């Protein structure tokens, strides 16, 4: 019913600065979080000029055009060393070609301001497949996974629909998940023998840095405690570390000199601790800072995890994950161009976030609408008054303003947050973004006023 | 014990025409089928000049160096159309970008001499992951999968070790699996309700064209019967169609004009049959005819299968499989260069196969050793006398001849074929290949003579 409503409304969209590939990309991301039928927009040609799709969690076209020039240069440079180019086309080594692991480690060390060791890395085909590979290697569908509430919407949607693991939602606080609730749930966890092949009793899925959708960063105290609990209960903690390079905090005196993001959870699981076992994986990706079409990511993971993951049918028979494109990517990382690019993203995203926050607060503060103030990442999280549902707003905004976004409840495995809205600031340039958000604000205002009148 | 033996022996190998990447590639393939510890050779520097690793099922270095030049050209041509290059770096559409599906369909149609429809395709990250994705989407570990005996060694090894599905081995005959045995096993299949989400009672994994390791092609009768049974019992038949382009049959009067391989099993599951449901998937890959490092393959599959596969966490959250490299690959396919390359492979492989067959038959025919005469693909399958095990031969050949190969039993989920040897003709050039095989023949001869003397 709601879906049909959206579809009907969509037919009236008037939208065409977006080229064909943009349309299909956006359509893809519509699929991602709104379950529109595949190629709906493409087939009907409905995504035309003026549609602001504020749900697209992907880099904008200008950014990718720039990245393309780096890949062209890398291909040329690789082709100058005849031998190596051919070798990148061969089945790869595990856990990833040494050159690739080394360049990724150096890049991450620069971006994190903390040492990432090449020997801790395994190359993956991106964070999405990376997460599934871990779940499938270490659990069966009857096992439990602690997940944040709210969490990454696409994950919440599919883990709920496909039941590839049982989820136990843990509420988010402003410095990470509620550890009191977690401890209660851990106490109730069914017994399960662990072994070398099956070393974990349960999994935990977290986004500790610039959380999607709330923007939260985990506090050092929570990170420490989670590692302690993971060791005690034999948990594997999987961190989607996909926004860690995108930190927007800088001093007012030097606004383009950015601080580093808080230390990642992986670093709290210290190898020289007496009770170290290796319980945390940093599941990273270049999708958000280089380009999603590459499908290149990495695990920064304990030896026991990497040893297990590379001894699988797909890793062995397939010869590692994406050797050609990961070698190309490593050439690009080596050139230093991505460091410049990330700096550019930080400047641009920071400006967009500030503009959107100010627009929303100026126009809607008086209604009690609030918006997150994240220190980095892609997302803003709007809280509407309790009696207003984002579904009602979406119905108005897509009809009257050509604006779409992710409804809060999609980010929850139990359907909470129906009065929340997630916006992505990654895709549109600042002026465009603000226009879309102004439309959204009008919709929210209308929805609130209508409700108050009833 | 056997493993330790091999390791000890390996220490004595004297082997250095192989560059570093070749070493790690070979090491990888050693891992693949002999379970040597990771990076063993790389770490110890033991793979030196003179080692003939006849198990490597991967293209040779010269072939990949040529492919590299095509990818360089494709990147350049893509970069001329600024917009499109950037777009290939974005999250991709499902079931694959239209340009990619179209070019793959055209290429396959030319290679198969049969029409492949773009609308039947979904782009995958290669056949290995392709197979796992299907298994995981449509079964749970308690379900059954009919597999050929013998089958692809890496699959046999991991499905046995990891138990991601139960296997039911079906003996191979010279025109495909034994359908009498299959029918008996089908009758004994446990009942299982099917539904839209779970449309299959069991899976079947087959390599109907230029079978790995036997070289067998399925007869049209067997193909027809398998489709009939698949419909009757609600089976999903997954065909690893990875060697279909590599047919070496030609007329003596025009030895470089090759015939097409037999029609793939997928084509027997005709959409206009009254009882059509869609039970066969052709799980293809460019690894063997373009380059394995790309990780680009495809499903040619029924609509119900593709619809289901693209509605998954990894496909949606990851934005399709390998959009950047599959677009580059499509540019290369479009250029027609790969058609020339496949022709070159056919000529080279045919020559190697003939040389190896003649060497083995000349030197070992008198001992009752036989060798397959495949019409295409990568592999030769040697049968030793019943009382000779390939493990004994391997022990001799790796010590005295620097020759290694895949023991037959690795190709069996029940450990049969211990007197068989699998050789790959893909990696070495002809003269090199024959030298290795001559060493192998000496080892076999010594092993037989020793046995006869005892
Ligand atoms: C938390 C989180 N994980 C994973 C992904 C997807 O990453 P990848 O493109 O590497 O699969 C996203 C992107 O939206 C994300 O926000
Ligand atoms: C039957 C079979 N399936 C799959 C593969 C691997 O294919 P891919 O490189 O596309 O994963 C091979 C290669 O050895 C094979 O022989």
CATH number at residue A275: 3.40.640.10
B42-58: average pLDDT:
66
Domain count, chain B: 2
Confidence of residue B81 (pLDDT cuts 50, 70, 90): confident
CA distance A111 to A105: 10
Provide the residue range defining the domain that includes B321: 81-336
Query: Residue A68: closest CA among chain B residues belongs to which residue?
Result: B86
Judgement on whether residues A300 and A248 belong to the same structural domain of the protein: yes
Please determine, for residue A447, whether its predicted confidence score (pLDDT) is greater than 70: yes
Confidence of residue A49 (pLDDT cuts 50, 70, 90): low
Judgement on whether residues B241 and B350 belong to the same structural domain of the protein: no
* Mean pLDDT, rounded, of chain A: 90
CA distance A311 to chain B (A): 9
A307 within a domain of the structure (yes/no): yes
Tokens of A394: 């979406």
Tokens of A163: 């039941």
> What are the two backbone dihedrals, phi and then psi, of residue B198, each rounded to the nearest 5 degrees?
-125, 70
| Residues B425/B349, Cβ–Cβ less than 8 Å | yes
Confidence of residue A181 (pLDDT cuts 50, 70, 90): very high
Confidence of residue A183 (pLDDT cuts 50, 70, 90): very high
Judgement on whether residues B164 and B210 belong to the same structural domain of the protein: yes
Please determine, for residue A6, whether its predicted confidence score (pLDDT) is greater than 70: no
Ligand 2 within 6 A of CB of B285: yes
Query: Residue A327: closest CA among chain B residues belongs to which residue?
Result: B293
CA distance A27 to chain B (A): 8
Please determine, for residue A43, whether its predicted confidence score (pLDDT) is greater than 80: no
Distance B299 CA to ligand 2 centre (A): 14
Which pLDDT tens digit goes with each residue over A407-443? 999 999 999 999 999 999 999 999 999 999 999 999 9
A255 within a domain of the structure (yes/no): yes
Q: Which of A449, A405, A441, A414 has the alpha carbon at shortest distance from A33?
A: A405
Ligand 1 within 6 A of CB of A240: yes
Please determine, for residue B27, whether its predicted confidence score (pLDDT) is greater than 60: no
B12 within a domain of the structure (yes/no): no
Q: A8-17, A36-45, A192-201, B223-232 — which is least confidently predicted?
A: A8-17
CA distance B161 to A30: 40
Ligand 2 within 6 A of CB of B244: no
Task: Give the per-residue pLDDT at B321.
Answer: 96
Query: Residue B162: closest CA among chain A residues belongs to which residue?
Result: A312
Distance B317 CA to ligand 1 centre (A): 6
CA distance B182 to B193: 21
Please determine, for residue B33, whether its predicted confidence score (pLDDT) is greater than 60: no
Task: Give the per-residue pLDDT at A11.
Answer: 27
Query: Residue B35: closest CA among chain A residues belongs to which residue?
Result: A311
CATH of the domain at A430: 3.90.1150.10
Q: A204-218, B68-82, B336-350 — which is least confidently predicted?
A: B68-82
CA distance A98 to chain B (A): 10
Question: What percentage of chain B carries pLDDT values higher than 70?
Answer: 89
Confidence of residue A22 (pLDDT cuts 50, 70, 90): very low
Please determine, for residue B11, whether its predicted confidence score (pLDDT) is greater than 50: no
Please determine, for residue B70, whether its predicted confidence score (pLDDT) is greater than 80: yes
Tokens of B33: 């089928």
Ligand 1 within 6 A of CB of A127: yes
Strand stretches in B263-397, DSSP E: 280-285, 297-300, 370-371, 379-383
Q: How many CB pairs under 8 A join A and B?
A: 265
Which pLDDT tens digit goes with each residue over A249-261? 999 999 999 999 9
Partner-chain contact B323 A71, CB within 8 Å: no
Question: What percentage of chain B carries pLDDT values higher than 90?
Answer: 85
Judgement on whether residues B321 and B346 belong to the same structural domain of the protein: no
How far is C-alpha B211 from the geometric centre of its chain's CA atoms? 8
Residues in A closer than 8 angstroms to B87, CB to CB, are 19, 21-22, 25, 61, 64
User: Would you call A25 an interface residue with chain B, using a CB distance cutoff of 8 Å?
Assistant: yes
| Residues A100/A125, Cβ–Cβ less than 8 Å | no
A21 within a domain of the structure (yes/no): no
CA distance B342 to B334: 14
Which pLDDT tens digit goes with each residue over B360-394? 999 999 999 999 999 999 999 999 999 999 999 99
Judgement on whether residues A383 and A257 belong to the same structural domain of the protein: no
Which positions ≥6 away from B5 have C-beta within 8 Å?
A: B395
Which positions ≥6 away from A416 have C-beta within 8 Å?
A: A149, A150, A408, A409
Q: Which residue, judged by its Cα, is nearest atom 14 of ligand 1?
A: A57
B352 within a domain of the structure (yes/no): yes
Instruction: Choose the mutation target among B68, B147, B154 for the interface with A, i.e. most A CBs under 10 Å.
Output: B68
Last residue in a domain, options A307, A336, A365: A336
Q: Which of B263, B153, B266 has the alpha carbon at shortest distance from B204?
A: B266
Ligand 1 within 6 A of CB of A152: yes
A37 within a domain of the structure (yes/no): no
Judgement on whether residues B165 and B282 belong to the same structural domain of the protein: yes
Cα dist from A121 to A98, A244, A441, B26, whole Å: 10, 16, 44, 21
User: Would you call A88 an interface residue with chain B, using a CB distance cutoff of 8 Å?
Assistant: yes
Please determine, for residue B208, whether its predicted confidence score (pLDDT) is greater than 70: yes
């Amino acid at each position: 019913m709601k879906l049909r409503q959206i579809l009907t409304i969509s037919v009236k969209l008037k939208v065409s600065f977006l080229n064909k590939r943009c349309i299909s990309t956006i359509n893809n991301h519509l699929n991602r979080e709104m379950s529109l039928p595949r190629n709906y927009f493409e087939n009907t040609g409905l995504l035309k000029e003026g549609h602001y799709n504020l749900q697209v969690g992907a880099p904008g076209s200008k950014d990718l055009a720039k990245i393309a020039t780096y890949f062209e240069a890398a291909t040329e440079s690789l082709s100058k060393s005849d031998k190596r180019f051919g070798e990148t086309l061969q089945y790869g080594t595990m856990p990833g070609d040494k050159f690739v692991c080394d360049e990724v480690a150096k890049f991450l060390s620069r971006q994190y301001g903390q040492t990432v060791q090449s020997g801790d890395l395994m190359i993956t085909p991106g964070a999405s497949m990376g997460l599934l590979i871990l779940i499938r290697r270490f659990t069966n569908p009857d096992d439990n996974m602690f997940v944040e509430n709210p969490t990454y919407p696409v994950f919440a949607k599919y883990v709920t629909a496909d039941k590839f693991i049982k989820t136990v939602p843990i509420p988010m606080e402003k410095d990470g998940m509620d550890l009191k609730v977690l401890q209660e749930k851990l106490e109730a966890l069914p017994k399960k023998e662990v072994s070398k092949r099956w070393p974990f009793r349960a999994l935990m899925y977290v986004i500790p840095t610039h959380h999607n959708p709330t923007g939260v960063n985990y506090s050092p105290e929570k990170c420490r405690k989670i590692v302690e609990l993971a060791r005690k209960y034999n948990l594997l903690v999987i961190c989607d570390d996909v926004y860690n390079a995108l930190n927007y905090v800088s001093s007012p005196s030097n606004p383009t000199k950015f601080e580093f993001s808080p230390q990642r959870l992986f670093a709290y699981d210290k190898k020289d601790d007496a009770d170290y076992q290796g319980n945390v994986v940093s599941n990273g990706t270049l999708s958000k800072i280089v380009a999603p079409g590459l499908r290149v990511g990495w695990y920064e993971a304990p030896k026991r995890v990497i040893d297990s993951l590379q001894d699988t049918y797909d890793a062995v028979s397939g010869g590692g994950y994406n050797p050609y494109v990961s070698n190309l990517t490593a050439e690009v990382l080596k050139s230093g161009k991505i460091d410049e690019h990330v700096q550019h993203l930080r400047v641009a995203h920071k400006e967009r976030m500030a503009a959107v926050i100010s627009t929303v607060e100026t126009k809607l503060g008086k209604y009690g609408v609030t918006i997150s103030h994240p220190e980095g990442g892609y997302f803003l999280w709007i809280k509407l008054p309790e009696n207003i549902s984002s579904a009602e707003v979406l119905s108005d905004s897509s009809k009257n303003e050509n604006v779409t976004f992710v409804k809060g409840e999609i980010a929850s495995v139990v359907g909470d947050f129906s009065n929340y809205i997630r916006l992505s600031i990654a895709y549109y340039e600042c002026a465009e973004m603000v226009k879309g958000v102004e439309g959204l604000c009008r919709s929210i205002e209308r929805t609130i006023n209508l409700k108050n009148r009833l």
